[in-house]
Structure 1
């Protein structure tokens, strides 16, 4: 309705005083009505919306105590995947394949460290029966054997790299590492030469084992390297605190977590040569 139409309607059967106030109200209504959201008016409105949305989307991070209290999820750690070898750190190719199959058949869903971080820190939901599948030591078969088997079942994993091993016999090439990142897997750091964190005494040690390798690995993958696996699974409180300056999450082995820095002491279990059902039993027992 135009302003003139409003005025005409209001004047019928009214005295002059009523007409005056009606006219004043109508003029105020027309003149003060917001303009369409274009140009400057639109920018201001969008700015307001942006501020409101930003405020609403801000999340409060959990405290260390809250993170420590959250339910842990199964985190598996593989090393060698090789036929004809024996040892606690070696599984055959057939065994690894059977492990991935039983996880898929049992309804497990692989998650990546970023999802675990959001779950621990911001209470984001995880898929039903989550499992994190990790690999240490940069072995060539991780790219040649493990990744294709996992991808067959719709899984993605985390590959922790010792950067001293680049392009060496039995270890991944830089191209394979980059390929894993491109395929949707996560690439993390496992130190430069597998020296334990408990032996880092000087600033130079941290540069050599953490800062410089992290930067080089990021150059190879083209992505931030935000996750760490402790050499030999060993950590101390001081080391865990220092690693929080570099990584969102750090992964140990079966050692008890540090309640002050739980994000830097996420537990894993080493997967040995075992039957698929033994793997499931171990997961239920340990997590």
Structure 2
């Protein structure tokens, strides 16, 4: 009940629809029972996406969300956003085929330090994901916690990764996910100066004073059944 009251009040203050945003990390081929908040098997990911599809969810993009937040553009009544952090190669080889099966567009937050390395996404894979309609966004160069290390190099962590991803995809890279979901006012200021449109965090409440750069997500456990996923969504977000 407490969560419901908080998010009803927050939704009223922000004056727009609160869209559930899911955050995935590593996806594995094996269903070995070792799944957690950072690991999910292809089988369970497929089951979760099947549930969303069967229950009428529409996967929206950050552009759609921000058009709604800032200009009142309409969204489907059961909108959801599906995001992925950390540039694992399985995002391309396992997640994208499942997303395509259900006509869902994913949002992939890339850390560029591991580009083209074994087990991580390559430039050609990132370009192909973008060409297929999935969204490529930034997750710093090397996953530095910007809130914990305020002396970080802005050019190295924020500016150059954006430019590199734009060169790879041939499109604008406008969105950012804070490593570990942690942020502070200086990081938001740096992102704005680097011409990002918005940023995504994790557990903290979205700030009414700067909602574009504090959009909430929830981490999805690989152990969740479809029913548990629904319960987590309903607990964390208010659906219309």
Partner of 1:228: 176
Partner of 1:285: 235
Is the helix fraction higher in 1 or 2?
Answer: 1
Q: Is the 8 A contact 1:160 1:189 kept in 2?
A: yes
Partner of 2:21: 75
- For normalisation by structure 2, the TM-score amounts to 0.88
Query: Any residues of structure 2 matched to 1:3-18 within 5 Å, and which?
Result: none
Aligned residue for 1:244, secondary structure, equals helix
Q: Is the 8 A contact 1:167 1:174 kept in 2?
A: yes
Query: Any residues of structure 2 matched to 1:1-287 within 5 Å, and which?
Result: 68-82=14-28, 83=30, 84=32, 85-199=34-148, 201-202=150-151, 205-245=153-193, 246-273=195-222, 274-287=224-237
Q: Is the 8 A contact 1:108 1:130 kept in 2?
A: yes
Which string of whole-angstrom CA distances, capped at 9 and with x for unpartnered residues, describes residues 100-137 of structure 1? 00000000000000000100000000112000000000
- For normalisation by structure 1, the TM-score amounts to 0.74
Q: Is the 8 A contact 1:228 1:247 kept in 2?
A: yes
Aligned length: 222
Partner of 1:48: none
Q: What is the root-mean-square deviation in Å for CA atoms of aligned residues?
A: 1.6
Q: Is the 8 A contact 1:67 1:120 kept in 2?
A: no
Which string of whole-angstrom CA distances, capped at 9 and with x for unpartnered residues, describes residues 139-172 of structure 1? 0010111011011001001000000011111111
Q: Is the 8 A contact 2:35 2:221 kept in 1?
A: no
Structure 1 regions of 5+ residues with no counterpart?
1-64
Aligned residue for 2:233, secondary structure, equals helix
**Alpha-carbon distance in 1 for matches of 2:57, 2:12:** 25
Structure 2 regions of 5+ residues with no counterpart?
1-10
Which deviates more from structure 2 when the two are superposed, residues 263-272 or residues 243-252?
243-252
